[in-house]
A = this chain, B = another copy of it.
Amino acid sequence: MTASSPEAGALEALIEALKRLPGVGQKSAQRMAYHLLQHDRDGARLMAEALRAAAEGIGHCERCHTFSESALCPVCADPERDARQLCVVETPADQAALERTNSYRGYYFVLLGRVSPLDGVGVQQIGAAELLARASEGGVEEVILASSFTAEGEATAHVLAEALRSRGIRATRLARGVPVGSELEYVDLGTIAHALVDRR
């Protein structure tokens, strides 16, 4: 027990563990730990079980690589989806965001990464070969590149588009433009310039 941390043992361990959550520092972790112990022990037990079950039970879909508890994720297992479209995203969270829009009916391919030369992540490390094989399967007419609109995401889209087009597969990119609900005055200039070029 030191001056800076009067917590000991299990409480200290819980605070340290909670600090591994993104966006949670010492103060938030303390607040969470004390809250759970004082007001919601059932919640703590439930969370322990949910974390264990998720860490053990959630793997990757063998077809699109998103998180899945079964060999095929619900989207890949759904024969009603449009097999002519394949949407490439960086992460399972991106895939979930697209699903939430309820405006895409094709299949997905999750890269689980993006090209980042500085970190030594090349096009091989993000499963490009697998994507090319998947895109060459009968029925895929268009690959929609939905990687992030960051430098690394753009680089990823660029190299994948090159590779796909060289194999005669049509590759498109999500539209860049002004976000819904925003006032032009506050939108950054690069976005406005893109929206102007891509006007329709």
Residues of chain A having any CB pair with chain B under 8 Å = 1, 3-11, 13-14, 16-18, 20-23, 28, 30-38, 40-41, 43-55, 57-58, 67, 69, 74-75, 91-93, 95-96, 99-100, 102, 112
**Cα distance A162–B34 when bound, in Å?**
30
A75 CB, nearest partner CB in chain B, Å = 8
B92 in contact with A54 (CB, 8 Å): no
Q: Which residues of B contact A69 (CB under 8 A)?
A: 8-10
Q: Which residues of B contact A18 (CB under 8 A)?
A: 21, 47, 50
CB-contact partner of A20 in B7, B21, B43, B75, under 8 A: B43
CB-contact partner of A44 in B1, B30, B45, B55, under 8 A: B55
